[in-house]
Amino acid sequence: TGQSSAIKHATGACVLHTTASLLATCLPPATHHCHHLTRSQLRAMAVNDTKLADAENPGVMCRGGDSDSDVDFAGRANWLRAAVLGANDGLVSTASLMLGVGAVKHEVRAMVISGFAGLLAGACSMAIGEFVSVCSQRDVEIAQLDRDGKRGGDEERVLPSPVQAAAASALAFSVGALLPLLAAGFIVGYKLRVAVVVAVATLALAAFGVVGAVLGRAPVVRSSARVVVGGLAAMGLTFGLMRLFRASGI
């Protein structure tokens, strides 16, 4: 048992390598088809198979496939950040804009038109901002590849695409902005419309917080609470200031 544990630890918990080593060490030579080979020869064959597999797959490390260390969370961080931030921005900014306009004008048409205008302006702003940001990042990384003499290799092919990043940001913003628009577009009563917009925005913010926390392996409750509190603060501040603006008669 101690010898098996030592072999398993030395081979990095790889099933193939551990099995080969156990066969070479623990089983008597007469119990398998290679009965004419000694234990030392079997052990040497297992080591050679390990080296051959590593040489054929230089980019693959032999380790457990189910562990969290095998998942490249840093690699998905950029896309996750763009999607979550875009959806949150679309939801909070559009809902706040609609509530702000609704604090001054109670007509449903005014709230919907202002929300739709906010959707278009915000999606364009997010797309342009993300495009410029990724282009700047790409220029810096290409310049570094030129200095390192690696231009045209695999490193350049994995650089982020500005067009894809811009499209993802605009799409995420639009999805978030559509939620309060759809919630308010079919309700005539002013108070009920405002309440529904706030309720839908709160539930969506909580859902976005949960999704972002689960994908990023962050604390779910704390992440969701932070997103919800921030969104409610923005909507409440906008609505309150616009009510004061209306009360002042300006």
Question: Is the separation of the CB atoms in 165 and 132 below 8 Å?
Answer: no
**pTM score of the predicted model:** 0.64
Question: Is the separation of the CB atoms in 95 and 235 below 8 Å?
Answer: yes
Query: Average pLDDT over the chain, rounded to whole?
Result: 75
Residue pLDDT, tens place only, 15-41: 444 444 444 444 444 444 444 444 445
The residue that leads in pLDDT, 33 or 145, is 145
Q: How far apart are CA 42 and CA 9, in angstroms?
A: 19
pLDDT, position 5 = 46
Q: For the chain, which residues make up each domain, given as ranges?
A: 2-70, 77-248
Q: How far apart are CA 60 and CA 134, in angstroms?
A: 29
The residue that leads in pLDDT, 215 or 87, is 87
Question: Is the separation of the CB atoms in 126 and 89 below 8 Å?
Answer: yes
Q: Rg of the chain's alpha carbons, rounded to an integer?
A: 29
pLDDT, position 61 = 41
Q: Which of 198, 162, 176, 197 is nearest to 122 (CA)?
A: 176
Mean pLDDT within 173-180: 94
In this structure, what token pair is assigned to residue 120?
Answer: 């278009």
Residue 227 has pLDDT above 80, yes or no: yes
Least confident residue range of 3-12, 39-48, 127-136, 172-181: 3-12
Least confident residue range of 33-47, 194-208, 214-228: 33-47
At 14, give phi and psi (nearest 5°).
Answer: -80, 130
Give kind and range of the element (H or E) at residue 211.
Answer: helix 190-215
In this structure, what token pair is assigned to residue 225?
Answer: 């609470």
The residue that leads in pLDDT, 173 or 64, is 173
Question: Is the separation of the CB atoms in 216 and 73 below 8 Å?
Answer: yes
